[in-house]
Chain A
Amino acid sequence: MTPPTLSNFLLIGLFLWLPATHGWSQSATFSLTTNQGSTLEIFSQLDPLAINSIHSWELVLYTADGAPLHGAQMSVVGGMPDHDHGLPTSPVVTGEIAPGRYLLEGVRFHMPGRWLLTFDITIAQGRESATLELQL
């Protein structure tokens, strides 16, 4: 049996990648920089993201040096600016599941289109915020 070549690997990779990027849903991992230079990484447990399904996100917060930021109070508000309305649910950060890793529960989107979510973060050093824009 011939060992798989690099081009075979690339082809397989392309096929695996295509369904996730095709159509009306999108990748479920985001990386944001807060207005104070910290990093907020977002991992949706619904992957790819899609409308009409309630789910949780993991939010990973760390400093510019890569140190986890634990003990943060986090909240999120969001909506569709083009439709002048908010999220259909009230997602809540319900706990810090590991240092700097937080669980956001109750996320659901109910319309295709452009969504904006603003994360408000309070840590010992002060307040920070970051905004996520996504297209569903």
Chain B
Amino acid sequence: MTAVLGLLAWRLLPDPLPAEWTPAQRALIQSLSLSRLPATPVDPSNAVAESELAAQLGHRLYFDQRLSGNGEVACANCHQPQNYFTDDRTLAVGTQTGFRHTPSLVGLAYSPWYYWDGRKDSQWAQALAPIEAGHEHNLDRLQVVRLIAEDPHYKSQYEALFKPLPALPAAPRAASPTGDELLRRNWESLGTDLQLDINRVFANIGKTLAAYQRKIKPGRSRFDDYADSLTESSAVIPGTLLSKDELAGLALFIDEAQCISCHNGPLLTNFEFHNTGVLAIAGQLPPMGRYDGIRLARQDEFNCLGQYSDAEPGQCTELRFAKDDNELVGAHKTPTLRNITETAPYMHGGQITDLEAVMEHYNEAPTSMLSHNEAKPLALRSVQLKQLEAFVTTLTAPLQTEQKWLKPPDG
């Protein structure tokens, strides 16, 4: 009986908090504060990244369901502003159920890579792919260009930003080099010059969508106020900013649990790729992750080194010096932990339903189905897992983004 009670107490009773943070701990905590977030990185591949007019056009397109084959799917269907630009589904649903969980767009302008496997190297190149994916928007680039050309509002906004739209033939109506056989045959029939013109407009559409999405930024949370308060004192005192459990969770986060290894910096992510032994998505083979993603990024005609990019080759450092080895097998991108309490389920396939199960997953660090799990078992006690869960609740806050961007444009 005593042994059982002792075991229960060991699992469930919290350790006392330290009296104060060490200088190293304090530096780590402060490094996570939004106050340390630098200005949004420039995107040399997108000449209109900072243009307000481009953001307005991108904003309108983001909410426009005409940008889909069935007229029912807009970017905002899955990346919902009211849900921190994700949805509450396991797998995304466009014209059909997709293959991955919808990632949040909050703070993504800071990421050098897009998609869970990093198959795109810019926010604008990313924005193009779902439009043509059969299970997402299921449209094609020629029809996208037609939409811009045939809507007077879009046409005038577009031509205020870029060169005049190309003249389009009456037929074919639809064409793409990536679609089904008919779309590809139509694409071939257009000829090289028109193909280049259409690709350029399509790329520019992506650039306006990126200009809009760059505005989606996280807001200051209770944690940020706490981290900033440490400039005055290193004492670990539960108070109005963080409770005892939240402080204990923070101590674990930066130390014993090693969450900070990947969830670091003010966005709580290193935007890198890691294999953490998450189970394969039901009904799918374990994905190769970044191992395939970097190959796709290099082949992408819309990448930083491609002819539709506005960057000089020397500016494409991430793509030019990207790693390519077996460590990337099964690796997926670290997501931000900002607002994580509001963005369940979790992981690239939404495989883990709640934060309690996430903590258990990392505590166990199961063997990966493909390659190896980078994480090591933590052997944390139940009470410590609860404390970690308590800590991440302090990272939720309303977005910093102006309200007008969080709803469809007027008119």
| Residues of A near any B CB (own CB < 8 A) | 22-24, 51-52, 54, 83-92, 105-106, 110-113
Residues from chain B with a CB closer than 8 A to the CB of A22 are 27
Whole-angstrom distance between the Cβ of A115 and the nearest chain B Cβ: 12
A119–B235 alpha-carbon span in the complex (Å):
43
| Residues of B near any A CB (own CB < 8 A) | 24, 27-28, 30-31, 112, 260-262, 264-265, 270-273, 317-318, 320-325, 327, 374
Beta-carbon contact of A88 and B27 below 8 Å: no
Beta-carbon contact of A54 and B31 below 8 Å: no
Q: A24-B28, A89-B318, A111-B261 are in contact. List 18 more A-B contacts (CB 8 A).
A: A23-B27, A24-B27, A24-B31, A51-B270, A52-B271, A54-B112, A54-B317, A54-B318, A85-B327, A85-B374, A88-B273, A89-B322, A92-B321, A105-B317, A105-B321, A112-B31, A112-B261, A112-B264
Residues from chain B with a CB closer than 8 A to the CB of A54 are 112, 317-318, 321
A90–B30 alpha-carbon span in the complex (Å):
29
A111–B258 alpha-carbon span in the complex (Å):
10
A84–B28 alpha-carbon span in the complex (Å):
22
Beta-carbon contact of A91 and B321 below 8 Å: yes
Whole-angstrom distance between the Cβ of A95 and the nearest chain B Cβ: 12
- List 9 contacting pairs A-B, 8 Å CB cutoff, sorted by A: A23-B27, A24-B28, A24-B31, A86-B327, A88-B273, A90-B322, A90-B323, A110-B272, A112-B261
Residues from chain A with a CB closer than 8 A to the CB of B325 are 86
Beta-carbon contact of B265 and A89 below 8 Å: no
Beta-carbon contact of A52 and B323 below 8 Å: no
Residues from chain B with a CB closer than 8 A to the CB of A87 are 323
Residues from chain B with a CB closer than 8 A to the CB of A105 are 317, 320-321
Residues from chain A with a CB closer than 8 A to the CB of B112 are 54
Residues from chain A with a CB closer than 8 A to the CB of B260 are 112
Residues from chain B with a CB closer than 8 A to the CB of A89 are 318, 321-323
Beta-carbon contact of B261 and A83 below 8 Å: yes
Among residues of A, the one whose C-beta sits closest to the C-beta of B38 is A53
Residues from chain B with a CB closer than 8 A to the CB of A92 are 321
Beta-carbon contact of B374 and A112 below 8 Å: no
Residues from chain B with a CB closer than 8 A to the CB of A85 are 327, 374
Beta-carbon contact of A90 and B324 below 8 Å: yes
Whole-angstrom distance between the Cβ of A108 and the nearest chain B Cβ: 8
Q: Which 8 A-B pairs have the closest CB atoms?
A: A106-B321, A23-B27, A110-B270, A110-B272, A24-B27, A89-B321, A24-B31, A111-B261
Residues from chain A with a CB closer than 8 A to the CB of B265 are 51-52
A112–B323 alpha-carbon span in the complex (Å):
19
Residues from chain B with a CB closer than 8 A to the CB of A110 are 262, 264, 270, 272
Among residues of B, the one whose C-beta sits closest to the C-beta of A106 is B321
Residues from chain A with a CB closer than 8 A to the CB of B27 are 22-24
Beta-carbon contact of B317 and A111 below 8 Å: no
Whole-angstrom distance between the Cβ of B85 and the nearest chain A Cβ: 21
Beta-carbon contact of A111 and B321 below 8 Å: no
Whole-angstrom distance between the Cβ of B222 and the nearest chain A Cβ: 22
Residues from chain B with a CB closer than 8 A to the CB of A112 are 28, 31, 260-261, 264
Whole-angstrom distance between the Cβ of A22 and the nearest chain B Cβ: 7
Among residues of A, the one whose C-beta sits closest to the C-beta of B324 is A90
Among residues of A, the one whose C-beta sits closest to the C-beta of B112 is A54
Among residues of A, the one whose C-beta sits closest to the C-beta of B267 is A52
Whole-angstrom distance between the Cβ of B258 and the nearest chain A Cβ: 9
A88–B273 alpha-carbon span in the complex (Å):
8
Among residues of B, the one whose C-beta sits closest to the C-beta of A91 is B321
Beta-carbon contact of B31 and A90 below 8 Å: no
Whole-angstrom distance between the Cβ of B26 and the nearest chain A Cβ: 8
Whole-angstrom distance between the Cβ of A5 and the nearest chain B Cβ: 30
Residues from chain A with a CB closer than 8 A to the CB of B322 are 89-90
Beta-carbon contact of B374 and A111 below 8 Å: no
A54–B304 alpha-carbon span in the complex (Å):
15
Whole-angstrom distance between the Cβ of A77 and the nearest chain B Cβ: 11
Whole-angstrom distance between the Cβ of A135 and the nearest chain B Cβ: 10
Beta-carbon contact of A83 and B321 below 8 Å: no
A9–B374 alpha-carbon span in the complex (Å):
49
A51–B265 alpha-carbon span in the complex (Å):
8
Partner of A106 from the list B24, B30, B317, B374 (CB cut-off 8 Å) is B317
Among residues of A, the one whose C-beta sits closest to the C-beta of B28 is A24
A85–B24 alpha-carbon span in the complex (Å):
23
Residues from chain A with a CB closer than 8 A to the CB of B273 are 88
Among residues of A, the one whose C-beta sits closest to the C-beta of B274 is A85
A84–B261 alpha-carbon span in the complex (Å):
13
Beta-carbon contact of B324 and A88 below 8 Å: no
Residues from chain A with a CB closer than 8 A to the CB of B28 are 24, 112
Q: Which of A51, A89, A106, A110 has the most CB of B within 10 A?
A: A110
Whole-angstrom distance between the Cβ of A54 and the nearest chain B Cβ: 5
A88–B30 alpha-carbon span in the complex (Å):
24
Whole-angstrom distance between the Cβ of A120 and the nearest chain B Cβ: 17
Partner of B264 from the list A52, A83, A88, A90 (CB cut-off 8 Å) is A52
